[in-house]
Amino acid sequence: MKERLVELKTEALEKVAQAEDAKALQDVKVQYLGKKGPITEVLRGMGKLPKEERPVIGQMANDVREEISTAIDEKQTKMEEAALEKQLQEETIDVTLPGRPAQTGGPHLLTSLIEEIEDLFIGMGFEIAEGPEVEADYYNFEALNLPKGHPARDMQDSFYITEEILMRTHTSPVQARTMEQHKGKGPVKVICPGKVYRRDTDDATHSHQFTQIEGLLVDKHVRMSDLKGVLNAFAKQMFGEEREIRLRPSFFPFTEPSVEMDISCKMCGGEGCSVCKGTGWIEILGAGMVHPNVLEMAGYDPNEYTGFAFGMGPERIAMLKYGIDDIRHFYTNDVRFLNQFHKA
């Protein structure tokens, strides 16, 4: 029986060594260590042995079983390690390759430009004032020297909600509200950015919704030269130190005198080209001295207080500054267009 156990151990260890996969190893385990295996049969036949041999054969059988079991466990561990190593090799990630960059968003070009203009005027001591987009007819027109029936109202064809409520056509109502809140006391020094609405047909230069930034300064002894100084500083900061400005007489119901401001054409340096239509100048905004009637309606004494106001369209400024030829590009959300100004 001793010889049989030695023979079984040798056979089992050879088959363990020859096993190439987990199934073959499991078959060896079942064959030699299972309930119907030869080692179990040896143990069952010990009752036929003399009493003095039973402990020796029993100990030897247990040692053989333990040795085979240990060999199987060691071979299984090696197989698992080899399988893991193979998987790691097959699924290797080259960490030296550059990653795919995450595409990040950014402020819209108009948002960036409006913030730039705000920062510029804040540096001059102006504050930012905002107001409702759904506005009363009184603040949108009447408080700005545009009574009902005034022919100048035709210049701003409007979206009316009721006879007395409309979508504001400019941000000037914010100026009227701000002056009213100051109750006839100065100084008032604000810029009013925001969206406005007009019943325009959308094309390359017009939109039914666009943005405006209007400015207002009311105080004692405010002069036209103060207005020109502020606008000159704005033009040079926004379009370059080499830009020149000129003021042309114009008409706005809420200012008197009124002017249009032009800047020298950056394409031709004022020599005349197709961009400036041969004039050397490009219109950029409207301005003027606050009309005495507007001051009076807001509670100011026009004999004591004067002021100036100006209004500009950020879309027009962006189109001139960045060479954009169609206002609709700002609102169609074309990523190809927006990405050009991601860091503008």
DSSP structural state of residue 280: S
Count helices and strands (H / E) in the chain: 11, 9
The angle that helices 2-18 and 22-33 make with each other, rounded to 10 degrees, is: 170
Quick one: which of 313, 41, 298, 47 has its CA closest to 180? 298
- Distance between CA atoms of residues 252 and 260, nearest Å: 10
On whether the CB atoms of residues 176 and 144 are closer than 8 A, the answer is: yes
Rounded to whole angstroms, how far apart are CA atoms 284 and 137? Answer: 27
> 92: phi > 0 → left, psi -120 to 50 → alpha, else beta; which?
beta
- Contact partners, residue 193, CB within 8 Å, separation at least 6: 114, 117, 118, 128, 130, 171, 211, 212, 213, 314
C-alpha 240/C-alpha 109 separation (Å) is: 19
Between CA 318 and CA 340 the distance in angstroms is 13
Q: Is 85 annotated as a binding residue?
A: no
- Residue 5, Cα to own-chain centre: how many angstroms? 78
Distance CA 154, CA 254 (A): 15
Check the CA dihedral 18-21-27-29 and report its sign.
Answer: positive
With beta carbons less than 8 A apart as the criterion, state whether 167 and 134 touch.
Answer: yes
Q: Which residues are annotated as a binding site?
A: 256
Binding-site residue ranges for Mg(2+): 256
